[in-house]
Amino acid sequence: MKKRLIASVLLSSLIITGCGDKEDATEGVQKVAIVQGMKTISLFKTQLATYYTEHQKCNSNAISSGDRALTKIHYVQDVISNDQCQVVLTFKNDPTIPDLSGKQIILTLLPTNHTHNWQCTSTVTRKDLLPNDCI
């Protein structure tokens, strides 16, 4: 499953970069990178919520190093959890994604009695690249 995801993202990147002018290609690649990043961070959001439910606290060990190693694909540099109940995704420093290069998307768990709510923040300055609920 993960191999298919990686292959489809890479294929999408190649198709997008081969079409249109350079600005259109860059825009397309950045959109692919955001989709890849959001799918990746969503996987670990579940792990952190599960860890919190079991331990009633957050920890940097909520995401295993083995799982983190699997995320280091194409545009994603790393994904970590921390003691502040956050999942932090960092994009690689990559000239093909100038508006995302080295930037972060941060999901913060806001636990309540029966559900887990999340707040999304980001260091990405182009908010049009982010989901509507991410500030």
Q: Where are the domains of the chain?
A: 2-129
Confidence of residue 18 (pLDDT cuts 50, 70, 90): low
Q: Give pLDDT tens digits for 62-120.
A: 887 777 777 777 899 988 899 999 999 999 999 999 999 999 999 999 987 777 899 99
1 pLDDT more than 50: no
Q: Would you state the pLDDT for residue 22? A: 74
Q: What is the pTM of this model?
A: 0.78
Q: What is the 3-state secondary structure (H, E, C) of 89-104?
A: EEECCCCCCCCCCCCE
Q: Which residues contact 84 (CB under 8 A, 6 or more apart)?
A: 58, 108
pLDDT of residue 16: 46
Q: Are 125 and 116 in contact (CB under 8 A)?
A: no
Supply 128's token pair.
């049009």
CATH architecture assignment, domain 2-129: 2-Layer Sandwich (3.30)
